[in-house]
Structure 1
Amino acid sequence: MIDHVRPAQLSAWFAAAPEGSQPLVLDVREPWELQTASVSADGFELVAIPMGELPARLAELEPARQAQRPIACLCHHGARSLRVASFLQHHGFEHLANITGGIDAWSRESDPAVPRY
């Protein structure tokens, strides 16, 4: 199952994760988008893999799958990240969320210092 979590709810979603598992935010935006606006890792690990590169780089996330780490997927508005969460679910990942509204909502709800584009 893929949860839909607003940026303001992300800490609570991570808190519900299995004890001892470090949460992961998977940013699937393109490099130019990361240069334009990025989040700061605060209480979670941040990994950036563009959506188009994910099939070839899936092994990089294998330790997270094995450890049953919660993974929240992030993009600009939430469409790409939902597709990535579905892809990960198909490949055996279980604790998944789509950050609904993406980094745009992150800027509006959690950190106004993050530029909107």
Structure 2
Amino acid sequence: MESTLLQDYFLLRPENLLFVVAALMSGGMLLWSTISGRSAKEIDTRTAIQLINYKDALVLDVRDDSEYADGHLPNSKHIPTEKIAERWHELEKFKDKPIVVIFRSGVRSGHASSVLFKNGFVQVHNLMGGIDAWRRANLPIVKR
């Protein structure tokens, strides 16, 4: 009984309250994304290749124009993340197909994926590590 009181005392101290709240919020957000099923699945380069080759997945590059010009996946569709909310309708014919979102950092792909989910796309995948992972795997990059 005494150890429980000590544990409660340390847990509820004011200086620990911020950490407890942060931990509860983080856990809740993870649980919500798992339960809702509305978050994009993170995939590696091998899975991306399989989706592209065998499931006719669309590759959606959401990086900015200069990053895209520096090199992108063959046959990728380019819509910068800041324009995805106004241009998602261009992807309407791909609603039932897998979409592999390419980015440089996770923030942009998360935003683009959430816009797509909100508009009825169900098979949205984020490439773990983005374009850098693709390059590290020595996979094809084109410049146009």
Per-residue deviation, 1:51:
0.5
Per-residue deviation, 1:77:
3.4
Where in structure 1 do 4 or more consecutive aligned residues deviate above 2 Å?
11-17
Contact 1:77 1:100 in 2 (8 A): no
For these two proteins, the number of residue pairs brought into alignment is: 104
Per-residue deviation, 1:76:
1.2
1:54 aligned partner: 84
The share of aligned pairs that are identical, in percent, is 29
Distance 1:114 1:15, change over 3 A: closer
Per-residue deviation, 1:102:
0.3
Q: Distance in 1 between matches of 2:92 and 2:64?
A: 21
Per-residue deviation, 1:82:
2.4
**More helix by percentage:** 2
1:102 aligns with 2:130: yes
Distance 1:33 1:95, change over 3 A: same
- Secondary structure in 1 matching 2:111: helix
Distance 1:16 1:38, change over 3 A: closer
Contact 1:24 1:47 in 2 (8 A): yes
Q: Distance in 2 between matches of 1:110 and 1:69?
A: 26
- Describe how 1:52-91 pairs up with structure 2 within 5 A: 52-65=82-95, 68-91=96-119
Select the structure of larger CA radius of gyration: 2
Contact 2:84 2:115 in 1 (8 A): no
Residue from 30, 46, 60 that aligns with 2:64:
30
Please give the TM-score of this superposition, normalised by the length of structure 1.
0.76
Contact 1:76 1:104 in 2 (8 A): yes
Consecutive unaligned residues in structure 2, runs of 5 or more? 1-36
Contact 1:73 1:82 in 2 (8 A): no
- Secondary structure in 2 matching 1:39: coil
**More strand by percentage:** 1
Q: Distance in 1 between matches of 2:119 and 2:93?
A: 13
* AA aligned opposite 1:26: L
Q: Distance in 1 between matches of 2:98 and 2:70?
A: 26
Please give the TM-score of this superposition, normalised by the length of structure 2.
0.63
1:39 aligned partner: 73
